[in-house]
Amino acid sequence: MYGYRLRTWIYRRLILAITFFLTWFTLASWSDNAFEKYHSVLNAALILIGIHFYAMALEHIRRNRELFNWGFRVRFEHVCFFSAFSFFAICIFPLKDSFFPEWLHLAATGLGVSGITFLMLGWYEMWSRGWWLSIIGLGIGIFLLVTAFAAKVPWQVGHGEFMIMLCGLAFFEDIKEK
What confidence tens digit (pLDDT) does each residue in 125-173 have? 999 999 999 999 999 999 998 899 888 888 998 999 999 999 999 999 9
Distance (Å, whole) CA 174 – CA 172: 5
Sign of CA dihedral 72, 77, 80, 81: negative
Summary mean pLDDT of the chain: 94
Distance (Å, whole) CA 26 – CA 20: 10
Q: Note the pLDDT of residue 178.
A: 55
What confidence tens digit (pLDDT) does each residue in 70-99 have? 999 999 999 999 999 999 999 999 998 889
Residue 124 to residues 65, 90, 171, Cα–Cα distance (Å): 11, 27, 10
Write down the pTM of the prediction.
0.94
